[in-house]
Structure 1
Amino acid sequence: MEYTYLGRSGIKVSKLCLGTMNFGVNTDEKEAFRIMDAALDAGVNFFDTANIYGWGENAGKTEEIIGRWFAQGGGRREKVVLATKVHGDMSDPLDGPNSPAGLSSYKIRRHLEGSLRRLQTDHIELYQMHHIDRNVSWDELWEAFQVSILQGKIGYVGSSNFAGWDLVKAQYEAKNRHMLGLVSEQHKYNLLCRLPELEVLPAAEHLGIGVVAWSPLEGGLLGGNASKKQAGSRTANDNRYEQFRQQLEAFSALCKELGESEANVALAWTLVNPAMTAPIIGPRTLEQFQDTLRVVDIKLEEFVLKRLDEIFPGPGGSAPQAYAW
């Protein structure tokens, strides 16, 4: 496994991030334990989750599974750089009118305590805002996070789904408080979703914010599975596959030339961008996890990157040159 610094922090994380969104939903606890054990054995130390995973009335279920895995001991907790998130509705009646998604100091305090309890730990290395909340001032946000940092409950603060100007504003306000600010931004980025190249990725790179790519396979479309569906086994992605059929077929042909799977090429491509820390891999099974470990060893040559640009054109560069002179 290869490692890199998480943004401008001093902590090193694996260049693959284990996403746990399937745990407790599409992956049972026993298989989730096997995947997490295999991740540590392979040197993957960066685990990502969120308080809402499990969804709806089952929100928090994924964190509980991870907590029970930590409780087995054997250095599991100590070896993991743990990331979770706050913002969503946890369906907690005690939150009252503050239940809907948001980032008030009230919610951050309450939901952090809930995550710590479910995860059976006393600290979280990376606490991420799952979305921006423009009803809340940065004075309130950085005060809440600063208190949690001083209490030792979180190590670093990250964001997710922020616009480029949100990143700039966050760092400006953090600097005014003499704080490190954001160390990471988790953002949707893949061959079919290259819009972040306009502003988010350049802003993150300039500010020293490490980018973690979510949905690097665009919900499986770039994983090669949609084209192999048997008649009668339609999925929600099938209509989208038809929309991008020509591109995906060209991509599949290129991967065959390279002798690599579509999923691994798509994941390796995300790591080419200098702003990228790691793509999130979200395996449902141990086999799927093991298939992705080769990604960090794949080095895409210049002619391959050119072919990928031809198949999946990006926005044309970073702003403003991409849309101005």
Structure 2
Amino acid sequence: DRRERTVLATKLYGTTSDWPNNGRLSALNIRRALDASLRRLQTDYIDIYQFHHIDRETPWDEIWQAMETAVAQGKILYAGSSNFAGWHIATAQAEARRRNFTGLVSEQSIYNLLTRDLELEVLPAARANGLGVIAWSPLQGGLLGGVLGKERDGRRRLEGRSAETLAAHRPAIQAFEDFAADLGHEPGDVALAWLLHQPGVTAPIIGPRTQAQLDDGLRALDVTLDAAALARLDEIFPGHKPAPEDYAW
């Protein structure tokens, strides 16, 4: 009963050797990687089996035939993608329809208030082709989780690329944290709630290590952002119109 109420998703793509069929989305790698995942996860089926990246060498006929076989065997229910461009999603779905196959049901991409490139092509392509979008890095590595407040009281100190990104966006992040305080919510809760307010987004991917962190993440479900709040967040972190409107006129 608990398994049936759990949506279990995993990915494939990794290469085990330089032999042509031992990696990416080849039919052989799909079969071997899937069986290995089932053993590791100790389950008899995976709800969403995701392509971690696009494979520019394996034809879609081979990919979809392997996935059709996996569905027929009861080893997976659905296929998903990750880090695909908009035209990759469109092509994948067109090739699946040609085979009378379901195709992709989800796309996993980086999407948050700071990184909004998804709005140009991928989000419109996903909506048009019936995919739910699962956003990874919803807090941009913690930068949208109240980092300045944590920095001031000594709870966190960033280094490397995160520190560089913070330096480049410090005024916007400060304005965001101030606005979250005005709303009466934690910055991370507002950032997650913003994603849940975006059409086409199914859910953000959070990575709690403790029960307390999971409980903190779930607070975003209770945050409602009205039109004025969403407009203010767009002012702080400008996004994109769908292409080609974003750059054509």
What TM bracket, shorter-length normalisation? over 0.9
Aligned AA (1:212): I
Structure 1 gaps of 5+ residues are 1-74
Mapping of 1:85-96 within 5 angstroms? 85-89=11-15, 92=16, 95=17
Is residue 207 of structure 1 aligned with residue 207 of structure 2? no
CA deviations on 1:206-259 (whole Å, 9 max, x unpaired) are 111111111111111111135423399443322221111001000000000001
Is residue 175 of structure 1 aligned with residue 97 of structure 2? yes
Q: 1:259 to 1:100 in 2, by over 3 A?
A: farther
Aligned AA (2:3): R
The answer to whether the 8 A contact 1:220-1:226 is kept is no
Aligned AA (2:246): A
Residue 173 of structure 2 aligns with which residue? 248
Q: Distance in 2 between matches of 1:193 and 1:178?
A: 35
Question: CA RMSD of the aligned region, Å?
Answer: 1.8
Is residue 164 of structure 1 aligned with residue 86 of structure 2? yes
Relative contact order, higher structure (CA 8 A, sep 6+) = 1
Is residue 103 of structure 1 aligned with residue 25 of structure 2? yes
CA deviations on 1:283-325 (whole Å, 9 max, x unpaired) are 122211101112122110111111101100012x101111113
Q: Distance in 2 between matches of 1:232 and 1:293?
A: 22
Residue 235 of structure 1 aligns with which residue? 159
Q: 1:289 to 1:99 in 2, by over 3 A?
A: farther
Task: State, as a whole percentage, how many aligned pairs show the same letter.
Answer: 52
Residue 4 of structure 1 aligns with which residue? none
Q: How many residues align?
A: 246
Q: Distance in 2 between matches of 1:84 and 1:267?
A: 22
Aligned AA (1:259): G
- Residue of structure 1 aligned with 2:2, choices 76, 88, 98: 76
Q: Distance in 2 between matches of 1:152 and 1:103?
A: 19
> How much does 1:155 deviate?
0.3
Aligned AA (1:278): A
Is residue 143 of structure 1 aligned with residue 65 of structure 2? yes
Residue 321 of structure 1 aligns with which residue? 245
Q: 1:283 to 1:82 in 2, by over 3 A?
A: same
Is residue 220 of structure 1 aligned with residue 142 of structure 2? yes
- Residue of structure 1 aligned with 2:208, choices 283, 287, 292: 283
Q: Which runs of 4+ in 1 moved over 4 A?
A: 98-101, 231-234
> Counterpart of 1:300 in 2: which secondary structure?
coil
The answer to whether the 8 A contact 1:227-1:241 is kept is no
Give the TM-score normalised by structure 1. 0.72
Aligned AA (1:270): L
Aligned AA (1:207): N
Q: Distance in 2 between matches of 1:119 and 1:140?
A: 26
Aligned AA (1:217): L
Aligned AA (1:88): G
Q: 1:100 to 1:216 in 2, by over 3 A?
A: farther
> Counterpart of 2:133 in 1: which secondary structure?
strand
Is residue 190 of structure 1 aligned with residue 112 of structure 2? yes
Residue 49 of structure 2 aligns with which residue? 127
Give the TM-score normalised by structure 2. 0.93
The answer to whether the 8 A contact 2:51-2:81 is kept is yes
The answer to whether the 8 A contact 2:13-2:53 is kept is yes
Mapping of 1:264-283 within 5 angstroms? 264-283=189-208
> Counterpart of 2:247 in 1: which secondary structure?
coil
Q: Distance in 1 between matches of 2:79 and 2:97?
A: 14
